[in-house]
């Protein structure tokens, strides 16, 4: 494995991690907004969104 291959692998892993983190944040925000429309306070909506994400299979 050359240095270029190693660098490409590291970049790919970092890219995947960034995508996973951003998608989780987007999902959390969307779920939180849905809970807010149901009448929950900001804190309750965020807590419920976190619980929903923790229960999801992904």
The per-residue pLDDT string of the chain (58 residues; one tens digit each, 9 = 90 and over) reads 799 999 999 999 999 999 999 999 999 999 999 999 999 999 999 999 999 988 877 6
- CA distance linking residue 51 with residue 20, whole number of Å: 18
Neighbours of 12 (CB within 10 A): 10
- CA distance linking residue 29 with residue 48, whole number of Å: 11
Q: List the structure tokens of 19.
A: 């995508």
| Nearest partner of 56 among 31, 35, 37, 33, judged by Cα | 31
Predicted local distance difference test score (pLDDT) of residue 29: 95
Predicted local distance difference test score (pLDDT) of residue 58: 62
Predicted local distance difference test score (pLDDT) of residue 56: 79
Between helix 3-37 and helix 42-55 the angle, nearest 10°, is 130
């Amino acid at each position: 494995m050359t240095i270029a291959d190693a660098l490409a692998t590291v970049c790919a892993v970092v890219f995947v991690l960034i995508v996973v983190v951003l998608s989780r944040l987007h999902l959390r925000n969307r779920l939180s907004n849905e809970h807010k429309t149901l009448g929950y306070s900001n804190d309750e909506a965020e807590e419920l969104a976190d619980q929903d994400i923790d229960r999801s299979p992904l």
